[in-house]
Amino acid sequence: MDFDINNFMQEFASQLKDVYGSRLLFFGIQGSYARGEASEKSDIDLVVIIKDFSFQDLKNYKILTSGSQYHEKLCGFVSGEEELYRWSKHDLFQLIFDTKAFYGDLFSIVKKPSEDDVRVFVKISSENLYHSTVHSYLYSQNRHGDLINLYKSVFYILQGIYYLKSGNFLRTKQVLAEVIDEKDREIFEICLNRNNISGIDLIEIERLYSILISWSRDNIKIYT
């Protein structure tokens, strides 16, 4: 099935305007489609911000997405303006910098995260990764699948770490790979090739868990 993300976004933006009118403040896309790294299996991560957002608006959005031929791939972030304005700033780091706008401007709604906000993002993301990795190692019945998902989050944490060092948000894995610190190179390479984890043996599973726990633990110390 041929799919043009730009055509889809333009058509969907038109549909959103028909439903919400001037209350539609922002529409964009984040994730692999925003970065130009999407595959046939990629989700379409939409970002929609609506003024005076109500439950009826949410129901209307569900009807709209359910009617799309791509409804099984649609996901993302839908919010009211005030909710987004009051959102925890560290949690907006990825949303703000990773989202490609097709209508409106996020910076007209929220401020750019501060350096402290990004430090909190890196620390909390590393804490979550540490906890999830330990829990998976102890209790999971699907370690291969867990490791694939756990290593996916490494990319986002590294984006935050590089932003703190340079003030630049590097959207794609290819660009980040060109400037990655040597100490982070091994874990980033595993992240990039994480689909290969499905075929590894028990010894390699143990090693990959150890690497994740050590790396996330170091980040918790560094960014406290």
152-176 pLDDT tens trace? 999 999 999 999 999 999 999 999 9
CATH architecture of 5-108: 2-Layer Sandwich (3.30)
pLDDT digits (tens, 9 = 90+) for 75-107: 999 999 999 999 999 999 999 999 999 999 999
Who's near 55: CB < 8 A, 6+ residues apart? none
pLDDT at site 41: 87
**What is the sign of the dihedral through the CA atoms of 33, 151, 95 and 93?**
negative
pLDDT at site 32: 92
For the chain, which ranges sit under pLDDT 50?
Answer: 1
Where are any strands of DSSP class E within the chain?
24-30, 44-50, 74-80, 100-103
Per-domain boundaries in the chain: 5-108, 115-222
pTM for the model = 0.92
